[in-house]
Structure formats: C-alpha cells, structure tokens
Amino acid sequence: MISPPSAPVWIAVPTFRRPERLRYLLERMAEVVHRDDVALLVAENDVKGQEGAAVAQAMAADGYPLPLHVLIVERPGLCAVRNAIAAAAMADPAMRMLALIDDDEWPQPGWLDALLACQAETGAEAVGGPVDPHFAAPPPRWVEETLVFRAEERTEGMTSMLWASNNLLLTRKALERVAPPWFDMRFNRSGGEDLDFLMRLRAAGATFGWSPRARVSEWVPPERVRLSWVLRRMERIGCTETLARRKQRPGFGGGLALFARSVALLGLRTAGLAGMLLPGARRVDIAGQWVKCWGRLHAFAGGSQTLYGSD
C-alpha cells in the first residue's frame, strides 16, 4: 500500500481491468463528495497490468481533491480483494465507516451523505442503497421485463436484510462482528461472497438500514444485454445463494430441508411458466426465476461458476 489512508470515513473501490470505468468513477466521486473526513482507497486486483492503480496514482499526482490511496492485492478474486480492503480499513484506528462501491459504477449526488445520514438516524451497522442501470447502448424492450436490470426500491429506515456490497456502508462494529476472513474464499471466483457475508453478519446480530437517496449508477455494457447472459446470471444467483444458505443450515437435516424447499420452488416455477402466455407478462422474469431454481439444485450437486478474477 502506498501512503496508508487514515480517516473516519473510508470509500473503497475494488478494481480489475477497468481503467476507464475507474477514471470515470473517480471523476464523479470528486464532484459529489465534499467532506474533510474522507479517504478514498483503490484496491487494484490485477497485479500484472495494474492499469487501475496507474489511473489512480496519476490522478492523485495531478491534484485529485480527495485523499487518494492505492492498495495492490496480489491474490486475484472477489473475496481476496474485499478481504484486503476490510483488513486495511480495520488497521486504521481512525476508521469508523467503510463505504463500498464497484469500479463499474459511480455515485450520484448526495450518495455518501445519504448513507451516513441513514446510519446516524437508524443506528444500523450496515446501510445499502439502490443501483440504477446505465446502458451503454439503447437496450431492447425485453430489458424492462427482468429484475436483473431493475433498481431495488424500499422505504428509508431499518430493513431486515441487504443483498449486495456494490453500494454498501459498513460500520466498524459490523466488521468486528465477523471474524476474518470477512468474505469466504469459497466464493472467490463465483460471486455471492457479499450475500454470504451479509447473512453471517445478520446471524451475528447486526442491524441493517436502507437509504433510497443513496443512489449509484452502474454501467451495463452491450454484452450483458442478452437473454443468454441474464439467464446465466440468474442461474449463478440461484447457485451461490443456495451455497450461502446451506452454511446457515448445517447438518443433514438442514441440508434436507433446504433441498426440499428448492425442489418445491422448482415445481412452483415450472407451473408458473404458463404465465408467459398471458398478455403483458414479464416473460424474462418468469423464465429467469425458473432458471434460478435449477441453479439452486446445481448447488446441491456441488456446482459453482467461475466468473470472476480470471488471469
């Protein structure tokens, strides 16, 4: 790490081979975050190319308005880079809040202030916010039929569960509740590591909040606006979600109950396929939920999908 950050509020961005997306994020961050208690960390996970690190270092040298630091994470993968971020943040005694945002996103105005305000008002140990899709090219009409590209909307305040880390504020207390490694390395290449972490955090007694005003935008490249990609994504979600739930229900009995539930859901979703014939039906969502059920069963067969951190 170059000049380790020290600040009450950390903003951390894991990055892997998206230098231009990262540059755009950093530019937008400088426009919308105006606080003197913030440090920004870029965690580079491409030890060979280090294009993201080069972007961050050049911007820092050019007078970037926020304290900007770089962490090189040699081990590839989602869990490896997130664990390195958490460890670095916990090593700073001044750190009280850690905000996470992905390198293919950027914050909308008021993002960080809204996360912090929600945390202060509710006392929640983890606070999430919506992620709005931004399509790099005009999407086909069927995109409106899928949850994959739909921002989650909830009322502001306490909530029972959070599902992802791509727009997430964690308190120091939250990170203290879960023993390192915070993100289970079994999810390092498959994804689902954030859901597993949040499930363990809830099981440890942490409280969650939601801020609808803490919005980020996410780039959606053309290669993702395909039915094949959406359905593969739904299958992966079903698989990794079940692997995470299986950890919460150990033993033969817990596994049997989860398997029975997965089979029952597949039956319901199979029967629901007839709904695709109805006028106005969200056909992609119906098909996606059916495929997600097969992903659940794939998890019981020992399956997972390696999608991230490839060399």
* Cα within 13 Å of Cα(215), Cβ side: 13
Q: Read off the pLDDT band of 5 (50, 70, 90).
A: confident
Structure tokens at 131: 């992620």
Edge to edge, the sheet with strand 38-44 lists 68-72, 38-44, 9-15, 97-101, 167-171, 126-128, 208-210, 157-159
Per-residue pLDDT tens over the stretch 76-116:
999 999 999 999 999 999 999 999 999 999 999 999 999 99
What is the average pLDDT across 299-308?
69
Per-residue pLDDT tens over the stretch 225-279:
999 999 999 999 999 999 999 988 989 999 999 999 999 999 999 999 999 999 9
Q: How far apart are CA 83 and CA 185, in angstroms?
A: 9
Q: How far apart are CA 156 and CA 307, in angstroms?
A: 33
Are the CB atoms for 81 and 116 separated by under 8 Å? no
Phi, psi of 234, rounded to the nearest 5 degrees: -65, -40
Mean pLDDT value across the chain: 94
User: The domain 9-224: what is its CATH number?
Assistant: 3.90.550.10
pLDDT score of 311 = 39
Structure tokens at 12: 């951390």
Q: How far apart are CA 110 and CA 168, in angstroms?
A: 14
Per-residue pLDDT tens over the stretch 169-212:
999 999 999 999 999 999 999 899 999 999 999 999 999 999 99
Number of residues assigned to the chain = 311
Are the CB atoms for 21 and 52 separated by under 8 Å? no
pLDDT score of 144 = 83
Structure tokens at 308: 């991230």
Q: Read off the pLDDT band of 305 (50, 70, 90).
A: low
Q: What is the pTM of this model?
A: 0.94
Smallest CA-to-CA distance from 93 within 30, 187, 3, 7 is with 7
Helix axis angle, 227-248 relative to 193-203, nearest 10°? 30
Are the CB atoms for 299 and 246 separated by under 8 Å? yes
Neighbours of 237 (CB within 10 A): 21
Per-residue pLDDT tens over the stretch 34-50:
999 999 999 999 999 99
Domain boundaries, the chain: 9-224, 227-300
pLDDT score of 8 = 98
pLDDT score of 301 = 87
